[in-house]
Protein backbone atom coordinates (compact mmCIF):
# COMPACT_ATOMS: atom_id res chain seq x y z
CA UNK A 1 0.00 0.00 0.00
CA UNK A 2 2.85 2.39 0.77
CA UNK A 3 4.41 1.84 -2.67
CA UNK A 4 1.06 2.38 -4.36
CA UNK A 5 0.50 5.59 -2.44
CA UNK A 6 3.95 6.80 -3.43
CA UNK A 7 3.22 6.14 -7.10
CA UNK A 8 -0.10 7.97 -6.85
CA UNK A 9 1.53 11.00 -5.23
CA UNK A 10 4.34 10.88 -7.77
CA UNK A 11 1.88 10.86 -10.68
CA UNK A 12 -0.14 13.65 -9.09
CA UNK A 13 2.97 15.77 -8.64
CA UNK A 14 4.06 15.14 -12.22
CA UNK A 15 0.60 16.11 -13.49
CA UNK A 16 0.65 19.24 -11.34
CA UNK A 17 4.10 20.25 -12.66
CA UNK A 18 3.07 19.57 -16.26
CA UNK A 19 -0.16 21.58 -15.88
CA UNK A 20 1.58 24.57 -14.35
CA UNK A 21 4.45 24.50 -16.85
CA UNK A 22 2.13 24.09 -19.84
CA UNK A 23 -0.12 26.92 -18.67
CA UNK A 24 2.85 29.21 -18.09
CA UNK A 25 4.38 28.46 -21.50
CA UNK A 26 1.14 28.93 -23.42
CA UNK A 27 -0.21 32.04 -21.73
CA UNK A 28 2.68 33.54 -19.82
CA UNK A 29 0.42 33.58 -16.74
CA UNK A 30 2.02 33.60 -13.32
CA UNK A 31 0.30 33.68 -9.94
CA UNK A 32 0.10 37.15 -8.45
CA UNK A 33 -1.03 36.01 -5.01
CA UNK A 34 -0.60 32.94 -2.78
CA UNK A 35 -1.78 29.71 -4.43
CA UNK A 36 -4.29 27.78 -2.35
CA UNK A 37 -4.12 23.99 -2.54
CA UNK A 38 -7.49 22.79 -1.30
CA UNK A 39 -7.66 19.47 0.55
CA UNK A 40 -10.92 17.52 0.73
CA UNK A 41 -9.77 15.91 4.00
CA UNK A 42 -8.67 17.26 7.37
CA UNK A 43 -5.08 17.60 8.55
CA UNK A 44 -3.29 14.25 8.27
CA UNK A 45 -5.79 12.79 5.79
CA UNK A 46 -4.79 11.29 2.46
CA UNK A 47 -5.62 14.37 0.40
CA UNK A 48 -4.04 16.65 3.02
CA UNK A 49 -0.77 14.72 2.68
CA UNK A 50 -1.01 14.97 -1.10
CA UNK A 51 -1.71 18.72 -0.90
CA UNK A 52 1.31 19.26 1.37
CA UNK A 53 3.53 17.20 -0.93
CA UNK A 54 2.47 19.42 -3.84
CA UNK A 55 2.99 22.51 -1.69
CA UNK A 56 6.52 21.41 -0.79
CA UNK A 57 7.40 20.58 -4.38
CA UNK A 58 6.09 23.89 -5.72
CA UNK A 59 8.19 25.82 -3.23
CA UNK A 60 11.30 23.63 -3.35
CA UNK A 61 11.44 23.63 -7.16
CA UNK A 62 10.47 27.33 -7.27
CA UNK A 63 7.75 26.59 -9.82
CA UNK A 64 5.74 29.64 -8.72
CA UNK A 65 6.88 33.07 -7.54
CA UNK A 66 4.33 33.26 -4.71
CA UNK A 67 3.75 31.18 -1.58
CA UNK A 68 1.60 28.04 -1.71
CA UNK A 69 -0.73 27.31 1.21
CA UNK A 70 -2.85 24.29 2.07
CA UNK A 71 -6.50 24.97 2.87
CA UNK A 72 -8.47 22.10 4.45
CA UNK A 73 -12.16 21.88 3.53
CA UNK A 74 -13.31 18.46 4.78
CA UNK A 75 -16.95 17.43 4.81
CA UNK A 76 -19.76 16.40 2.54
CA UNK A 77 -17.71 13.52 1.11
CA UNK A 78 -15.55 16.06 -0.71
CA UNK A 79 -18.48 18.30 -1.55
CA UNK A 80 -17.32 21.21 0.62
CA UNK A 81 -13.91 21.34 -1.05
CA UNK A 82 -15.50 21.35 -4.51
CA UNK A 83 -17.99 24.02 -3.45
CA UNK A 84 -15.11 26.19 -2.22
CA UNK A 85 -13.22 25.66 -5.49
CA UNK A 86 -16.33 26.59 -7.48
CA UNK A 87 -16.38 29.95 -5.74
CA UNK A 88 -13.28 30.84 -7.79
CA UNK A 89 -14.07 29.66 -11.35
CA UNK A 90 -11.20 29.90 -13.83
CA UNK A 91 -8.80 31.19 -11.16
CA UNK A 92 -5.43 29.42 -11.27
CA UNK A 93 -4.68 30.53 -7.72
CA UNK A 94 -6.94 27.71 -6.44
CA UNK A 95 -6.07 24.03 -6.90
CA UNK A 96 -7.94 21.00 -5.56
CA UNK A 97 -6.13 17.95 -4.18
CA UNK A 98 -8.73 15.21 -4.21
CA UNK A 99 -9.23 11.52 -4.84
CA UNK A 100 -9.05 10.27 -8.41
CA UNK A 101 -12.52 8.83 -7.81
CA UNK A 102 -13.98 12.33 -7.91
CA UNK A 103 -12.79 12.67 -11.52
CA UNK A 104 -13.65 9.13 -12.62
CA UNK A 105 -17.08 9.31 -10.98
CA UNK A 106 -17.79 12.48 -12.94
CA UNK A 107 -16.66 10.83 -16.20
CA UNK A 108 -18.75 7.73 -15.48
CA UNK A 109 -21.77 9.76 -14.42
CA UNK A 110 -21.49 8.65 -10.80
CA UNK A 111 -21.15 10.75 -7.73
CA UNK A 112 -20.08 10.85 -4.12
CA UNK A 113 -20.86 8.42 -1.32
CA UNK A 114 -22.83 8.90 1.90
CA UNK A 115 -22.47 6.91 5.09
CA UNK A 116 -19.83 4.97 6.99
CA UNK A 117 -18.41 1.48 6.58
CA UNK A 118 -19.18 0.65 10.21
CA UNK A 119 -21.86 3.07 11.46
CA UNK A 120 -22.47 3.25 15.20
CA UNK A 121 -25.89 4.86 14.81
CA UNK A 122 -28.53 5.12 12.07
CA UNK A 123 -28.11 7.68 9.32
CA UNK A 124 -29.86 10.99 10.00
CA UNK A 125 -32.26 11.66 7.11
CA UNK A 126 -32.00 15.46 7.18
CA UNK A 127 -28.21 15.49 7.53
CA UNK A 128 -27.85 12.92 4.73
CA UNK A 129 -30.24 14.86 2.47
CA UNK A 130 -28.34 18.11 3.08
CA UNK A 131 -25.02 16.42 2.25
CA UNK A 132 -26.47 14.79 -0.85
CA UNK A 133 -27.92 18.07 -2.13
CA UNK A 134 -24.62 19.84 -1.47
CA UNK A 135 -22.73 17.18 -3.45
CA UNK A 136 -25.23 17.37 -6.32
CA UNK A 137 -25.04 21.16 -6.35
CA UNK A 138 -21.25 20.84 -6.51
CA UNK A 139 -21.43 18.82 -9.70
CA UNK A 140 -21.94 15.21 -8.63
CA UNK A 141 -24.29 13.31 -10.95
CA UNK A 142 -25.56 10.87 -8.35
CA UNK A 143 -25.01 9.99 -4.69
CA UNK A 144 -24.18 6.48 -3.47
CA UNK A 145 -25.54 5.29 -0.11
CA UNK A 146 -23.22 2.98 1.85
CA UNK A 147 -24.54 -0.56 2.34
CA UNK A 148 -23.76 -0.70 6.06
CA UNK A 149 -26.01 2.30 6.68
CA UNK A 150 -28.76 0.75 4.57
CA UNK A 151 -28.58 -2.49 6.59
CA UNK A 152 -28.74 -0.58 9.88
CA UNK A 153 -31.76 1.45 8.75
CA UNK A 154 -33.59 -1.73 7.73
CA UNK A 155 -32.68 -3.43 11.02
CA UNK A 156 -33.96 -0.52 13.11
CA UNK A 157 -37.12 -0.13 11.04
CA UNK A 158 -36.75 3.62 10.58
CA UNK A 159 -38.07 5.72 7.66
CA UNK A 160 -34.68 7.30 6.95
CA UNK A 161 -34.35 5.95 3.42
CA UNK A 162 -37.90 6.93 2.55
CA UNK A 163 -37.27 10.49 3.75
CA UNK A 164 -33.95 10.61 1.87
CA UNK A 165 -35.50 9.32 -1.37
CA UNK A 166 -38.29 11.88 -1.09
CA UNK A 167 -35.88 14.77 -0.37
CA UNK A 168 -33.26 14.01 -3.03
CA UNK A 169 -35.15 12.01 -5.65
CA UNK A 170 -34.94 8.30 -6.36
CA UNK A 171 -33.25 8.90 -9.70
CA UNK A 172 -30.33 10.68 -7.96
CA UNK A 173 -29.55 7.95 -5.42
CA UNK A 174 -27.63 4.69 -5.86
CA UNK A 175 -28.10 2.25 -2.98
CA UNK A 176 -25.53 -0.43 -2.19
CA UNK A 177 -27.02 -3.83 -1.36
CA UNK A 178 -23.79 -5.83 -1.20
CA UNK A 179 -21.44 -7.36 -0.51
CA UNK A 180 -22.42 -9.73 2.29
CA UNK A 181 -24.69 -12.62 3.11
CA UNK A 182 -27.62 -10.23 3.53
CA UNK A 183 -27.33 -8.79 -0.01
CA UNK A 184 -30.42 -10.56 -1.35
CA UNK A 185 -32.57 -9.58 1.63
CA UNK A 186 -31.46 -5.95 1.30
CA UNK A 187 -32.14 -5.95 -2.45
CA UNK A 188 -35.56 -7.55 -1.88
CA UNK A 189 -36.46 -4.92 0.74
CA UNK A 190 -35.29 -2.01 -1.44
CA UNK A 191 -37.25 -3.22 -4.46
CA UNK A 192 -40.37 -3.81 -2.35
CA UNK A 193 -40.16 -0.35 -0.76
CA UNK A 194 -39.05 1.78 -3.72
CA UNK A 195 -40.09 -0.16 -6.80
CA UNK A 196 -38.26 -1.99 -9.56
CA UNK A 197 -36.61 1.25 -10.81
CA UNK A 198 -34.50 1.71 -7.64
CA UNK A 199 -30.79 2.05 -8.45
CA UNK A 200 -28.81 -0.81 -6.87
CA UNK A 201 -25.04 -1.24 -6.68
CA UNK A 202 -22.30 -3.56 -5.41
CA UNK A 203 -23.89 -6.63 -6.98
CA UNK A 204 -21.67 -9.54 -7.96
CA UNK A 205 -21.99 -10.75 -11.53
CA UNK A 206 -23.29 -14.15 -10.44
CA UNK A 207 -25.97 -12.47 -8.29
CA UNK A 208 -27.14 -9.95 -10.91
CA UNK A 209 -29.64 -12.18 -12.68
CA UNK A 210 -31.22 -13.24 -9.38
CA UNK A 211 -31.66 -9.67 -8.23
CA UNK A 212 -33.01 -8.67 -11.65
CA UNK A 213 -35.54 -11.47 -11.24
CA UNK A 214 -36.63 -9.89 -7.96
CA UNK A 215 -37.40 -6.65 -9.80
CA UNK A 216 -39.95 -8.54 -11.89
CA UNK A 217 -41.45 -10.39 -8.96
CA UNK A 218 -39.93 -13.75 -9.90
CA UNK A 219 -38.89 -16.16 -7.19
CA UNK A 220 -36.20 -18.09 -9.02
CA UNK A 221 -33.09 -16.95 -10.87
CA UNK A 222 -33.57 -16.57 -14.60
CA UNK A 223 -31.30 -15.77 -17.50
CA UNK A 224 -30.99 -12.23 -18.88
CA UNK A 225 -32.40 -13.48 -22.20
CA UNK A 226 -35.75 -13.85 -20.47
CA UNK A 227 -36.04 -10.10 -20.01
CA UNK A 228 -34.88 -9.29 -23.53
CA UNK A 229 -37.35 -11.71 -25.13
CA UNK A 230 -40.33 -10.55 -23.07
CA UNK A 231 -39.51 -6.84 -22.75
CA UNK A 232 -42.69 -4.83 -23.34
CA UNK A 233 -44.81 -7.95 -23.69
CA UNK A 234 -47.36 -9.61 -21.43
CA UNK A 235 -45.75 -12.45 -19.50
CA UNK A 236 -47.18 -15.91 -20.16
CA UNK A 237 -49.58 -17.31 -17.61
CA UNK A 238 -48.10 -19.57 -14.96
CA UNK A 239 -49.44 -23.16 -15.30
CA UNK A 240 -51.55 -24.25 -12.37
Q: pTM here?
A: 0.51
Instruction: For the sheet with 200-201, list strands across it.
Output: 112-114, 143-145, 173-176, 200-201
Distance CA 203, CA 175 (A): 11
pLDDT given at position 144:
83
pLDDT given at position 186:
92
* Signed CA dihedral, 114, 119, 120, 122: sign only: positive
pLDDT given at position 6:
34
pLDDT given at position 96:
86
pLDDT given at position 208:
80
Position 235 in a domain: no
Compute mean pLDDT per 10 residues along the chain, 240 residues long, and list them: 36 49 60 89 81 88 89 72 81 80 55 66 82 78 84 88 91 86 90 90 79 75 61 64
In terms of domains, do 200 and 158 share one?
Answer: yes
In terms of domains, do 124 and 149 share one?
Answer: yes
In terms of domains, do 86 and 119 share one?
Answer: no
With the CA atoms of 184, 192, 170 and 167 taken in that order, what torsion angle do they form, in degrees rounded to the nearest 10? Answer: -110
pLDDT given at position 75:
67
Give the domain CATH number at 85.
3.40.190.150
Position 237 in a domain: no
In terms of domains, do 92 and 123 share one?
Answer: no
Amino acid sequence: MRRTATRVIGCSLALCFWTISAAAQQSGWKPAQPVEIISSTGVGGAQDRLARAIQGALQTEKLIPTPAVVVNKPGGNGGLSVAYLNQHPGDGHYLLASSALMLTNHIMGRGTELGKKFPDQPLDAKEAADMAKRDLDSGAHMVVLEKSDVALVIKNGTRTLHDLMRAVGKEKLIVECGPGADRFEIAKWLIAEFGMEVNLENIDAEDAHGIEAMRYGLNRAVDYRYFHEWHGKVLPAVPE
